[in-house]
Amino acid sequence: MAAPLSVEVEFGGGAELLFDGVKKHQVTLPGQEEPWDIRNLLVWIKKNLLKERPELFIQGDSVRPGILVLINDADWELL
């Protein structure tokens, strides 16, 4: 059982257009059964933050090719 998690999500480089032009979002992820991971986070973002054109942001399970993801200013490919 994961406790609620407070995360800052920031969009840039044009991605913010899909989120009403808002670049920084301070969000609190609700507590849930399984621990939070990036895949769940993306699903949550799609459901709660994304305002339009989901196909331009998410593709399947992951982000659309070309979109870079940084976690604490480090490449997510390092994980």
Partner 1 sequence: MCSCSLFPPCLQSRELKCVKCSEGLPVVVIRAGDAFCRDCFKAFYVHKFRAVLGKNRLIFPGEKVLLAWSGGPSSSSMIWQVLEGLSRDSAKRLRFVPGVVYVDEGAACGQSLEDRAKTLAEMKLILQTVGFPWHIVALEEVFGLPPSVLRYLDQEPSGTKGAYKAAVDSFLQQQHAPAQGEEQLSQPGSQDPQSPAGLPTAAQTEAQPPTAAQTEAQPPTAAQTKAQPPTAAQTEAQPPTAAQTEAQPPTAAHTEALSRLFDSVKTLTAKEELLQTLRTHLILHVARTHGYSKVMTGDSCTRLAIKLMTSLALGRGAFLAWDTGFSDERHGDVVVVRPMRDHTLKEVAFYNRLFAVPSVFTPAIDTKAPEKSSIHRLMEAFMLRLQAQFPSTVSTVYRTSEKLVKAPRDGNAGGPPGPRCLLCMCALDIDTADSATAFGAQTSHLSQMQPPTPPAEAPTTPCCSAGVGRAQGCCRGAEPCGREDPRATVIEQLCYGCRVNMKDLPSLDPLPPYILTEAQLRSQRASVLQEIQEYLIDSDDEAQTGES
The footprint of partner 1 (CB under 8 A) covers 12-14, 16-17, 35-39, 53, 56, 61-62, 65-66, 68, 70, 73-79
Write down the least CB distance from residue 42 to partner 1, Å: 9
Which lies closer to partner 1 via its Cβ, residue 26 or residue 73?
A: 73
What CA–CA distance (Å, rounded) separates 68 from 41?
15
Which lies closer to partner 1 via its Cβ, residue 47 or residue 74?
A: 74
